[in-house]
Amino acid sequence: MRKTVPASVLVAFLACACGPQLDKEPTQAAAPGARATSTIAVEASVDADSQLRTAAEIRAKNEAMFAKLRKEQEVQRAGSEDANEQVTQPERSLEDVLAEALEAVVTVDAGSSTGSGFFIEPSIVVTNLHVVGNRRLVNIRNGDNQRQARVLQTAPRHDLVLLEVYEPDPDQQVLALGSIEDVAVGQEVVAIGSAFSLEATATRGIVSAIRTANDVTFVQTDAAINPGNSGGPLLNAAGEAIGINAAKLANSESLGLAIAAEHIKALRENAGPLKPLSVAASTQDDQFSKLFAHPGTSRQPRVPDVESPRDRFERAMDALAQEADEVDVLYKQLRRECRVELDHDHSTPRVMITLSMRQTTSISSREGCRSRLVALEKTATSIVTRVTNTISQAQRDGVERGTINYVRRLYRLYW
């Protein structure tokens, strides 16, 4: 039967074979008897000690080598797992991107026109100039949250306007602005806005082209852009605004245009005229320039040569509403700084109307507070008087009573 040699014996054998060899031939003849026995015992003891030391050294080296290998394998395995986690980490779904973006998108109410806008800073909203028109103050809302904002900066040639929000929320969700250089034809995009006054409307499409007309760069998309979408963001898959929805070409299907986000960045960073973008992928198309002659002026409200009595009445009420908006904003500041208290009838839509009635109950004795209040009261009284005169003129011009009441409620100038 074949016997298995223990590993310890093999190690000892290797140690013996590889270890130092003792001289087996004595220089003198071996003495007989006990002397010879003593010499053999000493030699055997030396051989055993040498073999044990050598075996221990080899075992220690092997253990150190295997420990090093195990450590290297663990490091490689950990690096591989990290890489796999990075590769397999799921991207945010479109639903998650939109849910976050919608918190930054608002409806912009400019009286006679309604559009969209979005926060790029907690106190700054960007929208199209053709949405705001000639108004200096507008209302913005997101769901039940409604605030006022004033025109901060405009770029008429690029159809852009920045709005500064009164009493901003420092935790307001904002949208990051993407780069036109990262936009590619065929990539998926989503247009968000208040299409036909329906808030939080999202439409999906792709980038059809990147075009330039009159020094303005556009992202062309087949995502549906309808009336009310103007001023809303065109988002990429990462939730960045790569453009601001501006228009849909007349008599066209699935041909929407968004002004490149770089123009927004330039407006925010520089108060001077905006410069043309240098975009390698952009196409300068003369035919496109004719179709979309100028984004800023082609859609500006135009006063017709002959106005109807209703149009004239509505335009006058729009101008008075802007003045009333400013009085309301100035009153909020005065109330905060001077602790003004009014006997305000909340059935009236504006504090301005209460101010015209001079129903102040208390005010701080702080210097300047009383004079500021008196100035506001005079302005409010003047506005109310002109509203009354405008209504009387509309009645004389034959504007129907129902139309007059509708316009008054539209601009919140009723009492």
Q: Tell me what pLDDT residue 49 has.
A: 57
Q: Tell me what pLDDT residue 3 has.
A: 47
Assign 301 a pLDDT band (cuts: 50, 70, 90): very low
Q: Cβ atoms within 10 A of the Cβ of 282, count?
A: 20
Contact 228, 198 (CB under 8 A): yes
Which range among 82-91, 341-350, 378-387 has the greatest average pLDDT? 378-387
Helix (H) or strand (E) holding 355: helix 351-356
Assign 296 a pLDDT band (cuts: 50, 70, 90): very low
Residue 283 has pLDDT above 70, yes or no: no
Q: Tell me what pLDDT residue 116 has.
A: 95
Range name among 30-44, 81-95, 189-203, 255-269 with the lowest pLDDT average: 30-44
Contact 217, 262 (CB under 8 A): yes
Q: Tell me what pLDDT residue 22 has.
A: 40
* CA 226 – CA 163 distance, rounded (Å): 22
Higher pLDDT pick, 194 / 29: 194
Average pLDDT over residues 366-392: 87
Contact 300, 128 (CB under 8 A): no
* CA 232 – CA 259 distance, rounded (Å): 11
**Cα radius of gyration (the chain):** 42
Q: Quote the DSSP letter at residue 177.
A: B
* CA 183 – CA 259 distance, rounded (Å): 13
Q: Tell me what pLDDT residue 407 has.
A: 87
Range name among 3-7, 219-223, 341-345, 379-383 with the lowest pLDDT average: 3-7
Helices 309-338 and 369-396 cross at an angle (nearest 10°) of: 170
Q: Cβ atoms within 10 A of the Cβ of 240, count?
A: 18
Q: Tell me what pLDDT residue 75 has.
A: 72
Residue 31 has pLDDT above 70, yes or no: no
**In a 3-state reduction of DSSP, which class is residue 279?**
coil
Phi, psi at 104, each rounded to 5°: -100, -5
Phi, psi at 406, each rounded to 5°: -65, -45
Q: Tell me what pLDDT residue 187 has.
A: 95
What mean pLDDT is reported for the chain? 77
Residue 256 has pLDDT above 50, yes or no: yes
* CA 194 – CA 105 distance, rounded (Å): 9
Average pLDDT over residues 324-333: 82
Contact 258, 242 (CB under 8 A): yes
Residue recorded with tokens 């009492």: 415
Contact 115, 127 (CB under 8 A): yes
Assign 52 a pLDDT band (cuts: 50, 70, 90): low
Residue 42 has pLDDT above 70, yes or no: no
Q: Per DSSP, which regions of 65-129 are E strands? A: 105-109, 114-121, 124-128
Residue 394 has pLDDT above 60, yes or no: yes
Assign 245 a pLDDT band (cuts: 50, 70, 90): very high
Range name among 82-86, 163-167, 374-378 with the lowest pLDDT average: 82-86
Higher pLDDT pick, 110 / 341: 110
Q: Tell me what pLDDT residue 208 has.
A: 93
Assign 121 a pLDDT band (cuts: 50, 70, 90): very high
What tokens appear for 44 in the block?
A: 């055997």
* CA 214 – CA 291 distance, rounded (Å): 12
Nearest to residue 158, comparing CAs of 215, 207, 108, 113? 215
What tokens appear for 323 in the block?
A: 């003045």
Q: Tell me what pLDDT residue 264 has.
A: 95
Residues 283, 288, 294, 299, Cα dihedral to 10°: -130
